[in-house]
Amino acid sequence: MSVDRVKARIMTVMRNLPPLPEVTRRLLVVMRDEEASAQDVAKVLSSDQALAGKVLKLANSSFYGVANEVTTISRAVVIMGFTGIRNMALGFGSTAALKDLESGLDLDTFWAHGMANAAAVQVLAPHVGRRIDPEEAFLAGLMHDIGAYVLAAAVPDEYRKVLAGAEGSLEDREREATGFTHSQVGQGLLQFWELPQAFGDAARYHHDIEKATSGEQPLTTLVALADILACVHGGSFEPPASESDLGRLMSAAGVSTDALMIALSGMNRKIDEMREFMHIAGAGEARRFASVAEGSRCVVITADDQRRDWTGALLGHFGYQIFPMHAYFNQEPGSADVRVVMVDPQTLTREQLNRLMTFLESQAATVCLLIESGAQPPAHLQQLPWLNFIFTREQLNDVLVRQPA
């Protein structure tokens, strides 16, 4: 199919999408007025009973965690803030617009990834070097891949083949098959809806490492960084970035390794809270992601403290218990219950590896190697399963499923 035909189909899909509700547009106008008050916003909200009801439900949900019941729209506006109200209305409007769009994509999986990104970006926002409103970050994260849904609706047959492909990045496959990427289409849709430019930029450039680390678009940087955490969480359209890209994004955002650990530990709770948001928005129920051996004990063997911390944080996020390396070597109580041992061969000498593998042969745990992106396992260990240091829940599940219990 020619690029012109694909473009025509994309524009047809966009034009046929329901416009953002009139009340949402009016809210945007009111909130641009520096003199606007909470009462002004409440008055606009009250003109749409359905939206007003959703606002009250959300204000009383665990998403905001208020102690006393919120019974008035004006009180909800105070609790949620202008940015929260704006983004809530935009989120409700966008999910409603896509709800009935036939694209062939799994809507639950699509929104699950959006929720994971939104959770990560909202938790990370207070830790970045430049101030970013967590509510604004939440919406940018939720909508960052929205172009994939439009592209799949415009050319469903071609997009199914794109998703089924394994060679190259998702954007490379999209470009080859259709002439467009979901990032380009997402930016186009958000511009079509006349949303703030920062949202469109985040959708367009969250896979562009040069743009995302340029320092010119802090929201894009944060969404790109959150996308790595969302990908490892599960439900992504493509594998996460490399360690090099992660490092560049952390540096550009001014985020420490400790902040990433905090984000990972807080994501599951945030995602659970967001289920209420998505349910109230009418987007359906996003599926939960489970690990094959969730709750099992796991040991990380490496001489690099940062790699140990990162891998331990990932495993903890996936529901595993981290068992101390020294306690495992000393066969302390609980070591017999270790299910998975992850080994970083690049930080160990050949002699250390030989002694380690001899010891592990006598253990019942599944042994998995941790390898830098683009590298290969040592020749004498290539019979073992291996993962990159930034691995997804599904990739780890695949390794465990292939191994005897």
Cα angle 222, 227, 228 (rounded to 5 degrees) comes to: 105
pLDDT the model gives residue 131: 83
Q: Show the tokens assigned to 191.
A: 């511009």
Instruction: Tell me the domains of the chain and their CATH numbers.
Output: 18-93 (no CATH), 101-289 (1.10.3210.10), 297-401 (3.40.50.2300)
Q: Which residues of the chain have pLDDT under 70?
A: 18-20, 100, 235-237, 281-288, 403-405
Task: Please write the tens of the pLDDT for every residue from 382-394.
Answer: 899 999 999 988 8
pLDDT the model gives residue 286: 58
pLDDT the model gives residue 129: 76
pLDDT the model gives residue 235: 58
pLDDT the model gives residue 283: 64
pLDDT the model gives residue 320: 93
pLDDT the model gives residue 327: 96
pLDDT the model gives residue 186: 94
pLDDT the model gives residue 253: 93
Q: Residue 297 to residues 112, 320, 322: CA-CA distances in angstroms?
A: 27, 6, 6
pLDDT the model gives residue 273: 76
pLDDT the model gives residue 281: 67
pLDDT the model gives residue 19: 65
